[in-house]
Amino acid sequence: MAKGLFITLEGGEGVGKSTQLRLLQAALLSRGLDVVITREPGGSPGAEDLRQVLLFGKNPLSWRAEILTHFAARYDHVDQVINPALDAGKIVICDRFTDSTLAYQGYGRADGRPDVLRLINTLQKELGRDPDMTFLLEAPRDVARLRLAARGAPTDRYEQSDEAFHARMLHGFATLAEQHPHRIRRIVAHGASPEEVNSVIVKDICAHLQLG
């Protein structure tokens, strides 16, 4: 069976993940590579339904229910979209994946509580699909907030969380990057144009694929 490449983009809101996703798709397609772009929560029809509940549902879920719902969406997305594309030898690039659950639910909501991290890591292990490469886009929170205000999309449950939540979440991403230095590459996502940020990421992917 052909083996594809599974790449994820991570980071706080407004750091430029969606922008990089589109630029990466174009850059890799122009090199003749077969690319699928997708996002979480969502990415499959059923998971997109769950996204509405997670981001815009009127009633807050308990922490266990919130984590299980993110993983219900993720299992459907992996089963119906990500695994079939990887099995067909494609490059799959996903805007957010399990590192976001660890950072937002594990660190942002639960401040790194061991039982919460354990539940997330157990669900991830059972899922059986880990990213091959992860790009963690980093920009100061003030810069990201200005970009979000300029973007003007409707704000979801997580964007409305207080600054202490965001600080814990960003600390979570930094901790994950320290724990997984071979998989997670930290990318400076401010003070440079989207195209300049993109060229750093494309270079890294091409080196991984041993392309010139």
Ligand X SMILES: Nc1ncnc2c1ncn2[C@@H]1O[C@H](COP(=O)(O)OP(=O)(O)O)[C@@H](O)[C@H]1O
Ligand Y SMILES: Cc1cn([C@H]2C[C@H](O)[C@@H](COP(=O)(O)OP(=O)(O)O)O2)c(=O)[nH]c1=O
50-80: b (≥16 Cβ within 10 Å) or e:
bbebbeeeeeeeebeebbebbbbbbbbbbee
Which two three-digit tokens encode residue 32?
């003749």
Q: Rule CB under 6 A: choose which of 15, 50, 123, 170 binds ligand X.
A: 15
Which residues lie across from 136 on neighbouring strands?
Answer: 10, 186
Which two three-digit tokens encode residue 92?
């799959």
Say which residue the tokens 């539940």 belong to: 119
Q: Is residue 70 near ligand Y by the rule CB under 6 A?
A: yes
Q: Rule CB under 6 A: choose which of 4, 14, 43, 106 binds ligand X.
A: 14
Q: Is residue 147 near ligand X by the rule CB under 6 A?
A: yes
Chain positions 141 to 160 lying near ligand Y, rule: CB under 6 A, are 156, 158-159
Size of the site for ligand Y (CB under 6 A): 16
Binding site for ligand X (CB under 6 A): 13-19, 147, 150-151, 189, 192-194, 197
Binding site for ligand Y (CB under 6 A): 13, 17-18, 39-41, 55, 70, 96, 100-101, 104-105, 156, 158-159
Annotated binding site for ATP: 11-18
